[in-house]
A and B are shown apart, each in its own frame.
Chain A
Amino acid sequence: MTGQVVDRAIEQGDAVLMRQVAEGSEAAFRLVAQRHLPRMLRLASKTLGGSSSAGDAEDVVQEALVRLWQHAGNWQPQRGALSTWLYTVVYRLCVDRLRLKPTVALDEAIEVADSQPHALDTMMRAGEFKALDTAIAALQPRQRAALTLFYYEEMSGPEAASVLGLGLRAFWSLLHRARQAVHEEMKSVLRQQAISQSKGSMS
């Protein structure tokens, strides 16, 4: 079964479940929530970044689920996948939350290399995921969201652009800057991994 077939089956399931949610079925709501919650939480955690507590991401997802219940009757499957709609709600809630924090400037470029501890040092302390988290957290919120939607949630460029409310060209540009910054920060780690990968493929 290809990924696209699986996605279509999930979308069809979403349409049926959402009709039941609109009619007030808590069981259907639980199923929809359990299906999408892990991805919603990951998007919220990554987009809010290191400046926010884990509780912030949880609050965002909880609020998004409440909106899912409140507006279940308004969702139309022909206008797009439920996941896209949910990601859009989560992203907007994250942006609202970040705007309330005076220390975080939404569109301000953050100097990655100078202000953060070096990724390799971080990795030595707490592993490669911690280093990656640090590198991603140093990005702008929109860059973090673009990276998460494209690489973690495996959305296509046009889908991710629509979640972020961007044109496709602007999205590619945003993704380019995000990936470049993470790549730069993780260079030492990646070089080591690339060498060991190519050694592995040669032997």
Chain B
Amino acid sequence: MNPELSLQAFADLLDTYGSDFRCWPAEEAEAAEALCQTSVEARAQYDEARALEALFRRDAMQPIDQARMTAILNGALTEIAAKPRRRAIFGFGGFSFDWGWLFTRPVGAALAASLVAGWILGSVAPDAASWRSASVPAVTALLGLGDGGGIL
């Protein structure tokens, strides 16, 4: 038995894991069962916890109006009929792309677009050294600060 388990700790654990000691961490469960056998207050807290769970269960068993559910289902079917599934824009070899996420996930679409753009730029741009050597004189020439080093 864990002698550290106070009534307050017991109440906190009841509110976290519920009254089924099988769901508790093993050590605390053992201490709690022992506490329930020796403490009237602990037993009362335990009974209250069980009463709360019984209330949840009874509430969960309340029937839901069938007409309400039918109305929801019919509403969904009407909407589905008016808004057909998005089709793939193109496909090949039995594999088609679903582009719907481009519209539902704009951040993901922006990231994907920037990655593709970066890849294309990286493929078509000249190597970094020649790019750098050409760009500095070109900029100074455009600003009227030099002759462009023969580039322009």
| Residues in chain A within 8 A of chain B (CB atoms) | 26, 29-30, 33-34, 37-38, 41-42, 58, 61-62, 65-66, 69-70, 74, 128-129, 132, 147, 151-153, 172-173, 175-176, 179-180, 182-183, 186-187, 189-191, 193-195, 197-198
Contacts and interface: CB of A to CB of B under 8 A. Distances in A.
Interface of B: 12, 15-18, 44, 47-60, 62, 64, 68-69, 71-73, 75-77, 79-80, 83, 85-86, 98, 100
A129 B47 CA distance: 19
A37 B73 contact: yes
Given A151-B53, A183-B15, A183-B52, A34 B73 contact: yes
B48 A183 contact: yes
Given A66-B79, A151-B56, A152-B59, A61 B15 contact: no
Contacts of B79: 62, 66
B47 A194 contact: yes
A33 B73 contact: yes
Contacts of A65: 72-73, 76
12 contacts: A30-B73, A33-B76, A37-B73, A41-B64, A61-B72, A65-B76, A66-B76, A66-B79, A129-B62, A172-B17, A175-B16, A176-B16
* SS class, residues of chain A in contact with chain B: helix
A124 to B, nearest CB: 16
A69 B72 CA distance: 14
Given A33-B76, A152-B59, A193 B68 contact: no
Contact of B48 (A42, A128, A153, A191): A191
A34 B75 CA distance: 13
Contacts of A151: 18, 53, 56-57, 60
Please give me the 10 A-B residue pairs with the lowest Cβ-Cβ distance, nearest first. Answer: A194-B47, A65-B76, A193-B51, A151-B56, A176-B16, A152-B60, A180-B15, A190-B51, A194-B51, A179-B15
Contacts of B49: 183
B52 A37 contact: no
A37 B86 contact: no
A41 B72 contact: yes
A190 B46 CA distance: 11
Nearest to A196: B51
Nearest to A176: B16
A29 B76 CA distance: 10
Nearest to A44: B72
A58 B74 CA distance: 11
B78 to A, nearest CB: 9
